[in-house]
Amino acid sequence: MFSRLSRQKVLFQAGLKGIFAFILFFVCCVGVAEALELTVSPTGSNNDQTIINNALEAVQNSGGGKVYLNAGTYKIDNTVIIWSNTFLTGSPDAVILVSPSSSQWFTGSVGIISCKESIKNVEISGFQINGNLGALPASYANSPGHDKDCQRSVLH
């Protein structure tokens, strides 16, 4: 009937087809793990950086992903912290607004959006950032050696 070599070849080909079918099933039916995607909305308080930071930290803890800001004004009185492998995006009608009640604005290497460590693979897009310079005390805008620090908005 079949020679020993033919049987081995047929079994080998059948094995390859089985492996291919399993991989195809896994990718199509089970799926490949996707990056975490979270959506946040403003709370109306003066510390919306907390909800943004919680979402960004959850994305960071999952290995990366996207945080989307729904339309609205996000009043912040402290820094938004971004991490590696993060896409921070939002509605064109989403605005991160520095709260005039904040006492923390932005000296040295801290900004409206900043980081705690060296980062890579980060994108920030789609929404607005308003440093609210007109509503803050003049001393925040022009403290010695820190000209316009309260307008500092992105990473170092």
- pLDDT, one tens digit per residue, over 97-113 is 888 777 655 555 567 88
Q: If pLDDT is split at 50, 70 and 90, which confidence band does 142 have? A: low
Q: Residue 115's domain spans which residues?
A: 36-151
> Tokens standing for 62?
């999952």
* Distance (Å, whole) CA 141 – CA 37: 36
- Both 57 and 16 in one domain: the answer is no
**Please, what is the Cα angle at 141 between 54 and 123, to 5 degrees?**
35
- Both 19 and 77 in one domain: the answer is no
Cβ neighbours of 117 (radius 10 Å): 7
- Both 112 and 43 in one domain: the answer is yes
* Distance (Å, whole) CA 105 – CA 100: 10
- Both 80 and 146 in one domain: the answer is yes
- Both 55 and 111 in one domain: the answer is yes
- pLDDT, one tens digit per residue, over 3-62 is 555 555 554 555 545 554 445 444 444 444 578 999 999 998 889 999 999 999 999 999
Q: If pLDDT is split at 50, 70 and 90, which confidence band does 84 have? A: very high
Number of continuous H segments (helices) and E segments (strands) in the chain? 3, 11
Length of the chain: 156
What is the number of structural domains in the chain? 2
CATH code for position 95: 2.160.20.10
**Domain for residue 156, yes or no?**
no
Classify each residue of 4-38 as buried b or exposed e, where b means 16 or more C-beta atoms within 10 Å of its C-beta: eeeeeeeeeeeeeeeeeeeeeeeeeeeeeeeebeb
- Both 40 and 16 in one domain: the answer is no
pLDDT higher than threshold 60 for residue 140: no
- Both 53 and 22 in one domain: the answer is no
* Distance (Å, whole) CA 127 – CA 67: 12
- Both 97 and 68 in one domain: the answer is yes
**Domain for residue 138, yes or no?**
yes
